C-alpha cells in the first residue's frame, strides 16, 4: 500500500491491476465448473471471482464471501486450491452453494450418470402424482395449479421423487439441484411454460451438463490440491462470534456482492405468469423459506434514505472486519439505484465498519478513479416487479483501518495503574 494525496493505493504490479480490471469488465456468459447448476439472481461472473483470488491470494489462503448467494466465490476458491468460507442468510443459497462445492467420487458420478439417462422415463403424466404434502400444506405450490402449469407441477414432483430415491444425501442433493435448474428454466420469468416432453428432455440435458461441470471441478481440485469449504447459513452480522469459525485463520481475501442499495432483486422467488411470485425453489431444495423479501435484501426500500439497509450493511461488514487482519483485501461488486447519494453513504458505512478505501493506480485517470463496469444484461432486473434499472456496477476495494494508538492516555494509565474509565474520568 502507498499513499498519494488523500488516496491510498494497493501495491500491485501494473499487469496484475490490468488483469483484475479486465476480469471485472468481462461480459462473457457464465460457464465452466459447477457454475451452471443454478442461475442465482445477481450472481457475479466467475471470471471476476477467479481474478480476485489469483491477484490477492496464494494456494492454501482463506477466501471469505459473507453474502455468498449461489457460491461463485466458493467454487472458484475450491478449484484454485484455496480454503473457502461462504455465509448467507438464505437456505436456498446454502443449498445451491453446498451442492456446487460437493466433490463427487467417480463411483457417485457414474451412478448419477445412469440415473440421468433414465430420468425422462420417470416423468409420465399418465402415472399417479406424487405430492410432497408437508410443503403443499405450507403453501409452497402457490400459483402452480393453473390449467397451463399443473402438468409441469406433476412432472417436477415425479422428477423430485426419483431424486429422493438416490438415497445418499449428497447424491439426492445433486438430483434435487437438477430438478431445481430445470424447473427454473421451465417456470421462472416465462409467460408460456414448455410442454412436459420438452421438460423431460431438458431434465436429461441439464443433468448431463451438470455432471460435466462436476467432473471439471473434480479434476481442478485434483490438480490444485483439496482445501476445505464451509457454507454457513446465517446472518453475516455477528459472524465473529460463530463457534464454527473460532479456529479460522484471518481471510486473505473477502470477495463479495452484498444486496444492492435501493435495487430490488428477488433472491427467493421465481415469477410466473407475468409476475406472480412462487416459493417453489425452496420446496425443491427441501428447505424452508426465511421471511419476506426484505429479509434477503437487508431491509425494505420504504424507509427514508434506506436507513435499515445502511444499518445492516454496516453491521455485517463490521463483523467481517472483526475476523480480518490488516493484510486482508476486501473486494466488493455493487450496483445502486441512485449512485450519486447511495455510493457516498455506502462508503461512509464501510468507514464506520472500520474499512479504508483503496484504489488502483492504473485507474487514476479514469472518472472518479474507481473500477466501474457496464452491466451487460439487465435480464434479472427486468424480470423483477418494481425493478429499478442500474446500468453500471462498481468494484470497491478496501483494507482494514489500523487505529492509531492513543499514546499519551496509555502512559497515564501505566503510571496511575487505574482502569481506563477511572483515569479518563479524573482527567
Ligand atoms: C447479490 S447476492 C450474492 C450473489 C453471489 N455473489 C453469487 O455469485 O451468486 C446477495 C446475497 O446476500 C444475501 N444476504 C442478504 N442479507 C444478508 C445478511 N445479513 N447476511 C448474509 N447474507 C445476506 C442474500 O440472501 C443474497 O444471497
Mean pLDDT, rounded, of the chain: 90
pLDDT higher for 116 or 427? 116
In this prediction, residue 403 has a pLDDT band, given cuts at 50, 70 and 90, of: confident
Q: Which residues contact 274 (CB under 8 A, 6 or more apart)?
A: 191
Task: Flag whether pLDDT at 32 surpasses 80.
Answer: yes
Domain ranges (residues) in the chain: 2-88+221-400, 106-215
CA-based radius of gyration for the chain: 24
pTM for the model stands at 0.91
pLDDT tens for residues 350-384?
999 999 999 999 999 999 999 999 886 555 444 44
Give the total residue count for the chain. 427
**Neighbour tally for 293: CB within 10 Å:** 17
Ligand 1 atom with minimal separation from the 69 CA: 27
What is the whole-number distance in angstroms between the Cα of residue 268 and the centre of ligand 1?
A: 11
The model's confidence at residue 415, banded by pLDDT at 50, 70 and 90, is very low
What is the structure's pLDDT at 376? 67
Q: Which of 35, 66, 84, 88 to mutate to test the pocket of ligand 1 (most atoms within 8 A of CB)?
A: 88
67 C-alpha to center of ligand 1: Å? 4
Comparing 27-31, 122-126, 158-162, the range with the smallest average pLDDT is 27-31
Ligand 1 pocket check for 47: Cβ under 6 Å: no
> Is residue 84 within 8 Å of 249, Cβ to Cβ?
no
Does the beta carbon of 67 lie inside 6 Å of ligand 1?
yes
Whether residue 316 has its Cβ less than 6 Å from ligand 1 = yes
**pLDDT attached to residue 377:** 59
If you measure from the C-alpha of residue 259 to the centroid of ligand 1, how many angstroms do you get, rounded to a whole number?
A: 6
| pLDDT tens-digit series, residues 54-84 | 999 999 999 999 999 999 999 999 999 999 9
Mean pLDDT throughout 92-110?
Answer: 98
Q: Whose CA is nearest to atom 24 of ligand 1?
A: 296
Any atom of ligand 1 within 6 Å of the Cβ of 70 = yes
Residue 93: CB within 6 Å of ligand 1? yes
Continuous segment of H or E residues that includes residue 53: helix 46-56
- Report CA(353)–ligand 1 centroid distance (Å): 18
Domain at 2-88+221-400, CATH from 2.40.50.140, 3.40.50.150, 1.10.3720.10, 3.30.1540.20: 3.40.50.150
Return the C-alpha cell found at 157: 414432483
344 CA to centre of ligand 1 in angstroms:
21
Amino acid at each position: 500500500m502507498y499513499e498519494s494525496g488523500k488516496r491510498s493505493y494497493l501495491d500491485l504490479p501494473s499487469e496484475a491491476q490490468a488483469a483484475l480490471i479486465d476480469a471485472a469488465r468481462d461480459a462473457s456468459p457464465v460457464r465452466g465448473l459447477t457454475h451452471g447448476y443454478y442461475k442465482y439472481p445477481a450472481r457475479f461472473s466467475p471470471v471476476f471471482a477467479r481474478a480476485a483470488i489469483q491477484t490477492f491470494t496464494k494456494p492454501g489462503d482463506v477466501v471469505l464471501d459473507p453474502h455468498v448467494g449461489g457460491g461463485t466465490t466458493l467454487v472458484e476458491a475450491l478449484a484454485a486450491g484455496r480454503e473457502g468460507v461462504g455465509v448467507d442468510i438464505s437456505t436456498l443459497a446454502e443449498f445451491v452453494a453446498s451442492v456446487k462445492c460437493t466433490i463427487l467420487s467417480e463411483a457417485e458420478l457414474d451412478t448419477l450418470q445412469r440415473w440421468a439417462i433414465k430420468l425422462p422415463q420417470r416423468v409420465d403424466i399418465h402415472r399417479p402424482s406424487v405430492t410432497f404434502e408437508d410443503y403443499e400444506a405450507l403453501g409452497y405450490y402457490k400459483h402452480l395449479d393453473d390449467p397451463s402449469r399443473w402438468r409441469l407441477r406433476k412432472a417436477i414432483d415425479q422428477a423430485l421423487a426419483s431424486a429422493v430415491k438416490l438415497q445418499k444425501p449428497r447424491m439426492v442433493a445433486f438430483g434435487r439441484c437438477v430438478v431445481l435448474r430445470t424447473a427454473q428454466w421451465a417456470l421462472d420469468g416465462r409467460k408460456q411454460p414448455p410442454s412436459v416432453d420438452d421438460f423431460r428432455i431438458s431434465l436429461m440435458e441439464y443433468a448431463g451438463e451438470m455432471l460435466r461441470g462436476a467432473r471439471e471441478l473434480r479434476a481442478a481440485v485434483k490438480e490444485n490440491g483439496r482445501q476445505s469449504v464451509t457454507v454457513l447459513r446465517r446472518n453475516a452480522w455477528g459472524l465473529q462470534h460463530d463457534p464454527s469459525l473460532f479456529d479460522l485463520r484471518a481471510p486473505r481475501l473477502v470477495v463479495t456482492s452484498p444486496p444492492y442499495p435501493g435495487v430490488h432483486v428477488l433472491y427467493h422467488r421465481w415469477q410466473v405468469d407475468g409476475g406472480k411470485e412462487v416459493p417453489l425453489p425452496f420446496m425443491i431444495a427441501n428447505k424452508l423459506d426465511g421471511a419476506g423479501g426484505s429479509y434477503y435484501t437487508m431491509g425494505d426500500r420504504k424507509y427514508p434514505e434506506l436507513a435499515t439497509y445502511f444499518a445492516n450493511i454496516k453491521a455485517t461488514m463490521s463483523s467481517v472486519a472483526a475476523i480480518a487482519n490488516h493484510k486482508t483485501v476486501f473486494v466488493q461488486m455493487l450496483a445502486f439505484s441512485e449512485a450519486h447519494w447511495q455510493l457516498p453513504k455506502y462508503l461512509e458505512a464501510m468507514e464506520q465498519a472500520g474499512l479504508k478505501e483503496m484504489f488502483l493506480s492504473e485507474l487514476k485517470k479514469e472518472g472518479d478513479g474507481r473500477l466501474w463496469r457496464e452491466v451487460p444484461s439487465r435480464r434479472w432486473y427486468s424480470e423483477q416487479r418494481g425493478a429499478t434499472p442500474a446500468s453500471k456496477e462498481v468494484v470497491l476495494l478496501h483494507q482494514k483501518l489500523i487505529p492509531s494508538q492513543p499514546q499519551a492516555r496509555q502512559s497515564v494509565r501505566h503510571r496511575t495503574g487505574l482502569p481506563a474509565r477511572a483515569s479518563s474520568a479524573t482527567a
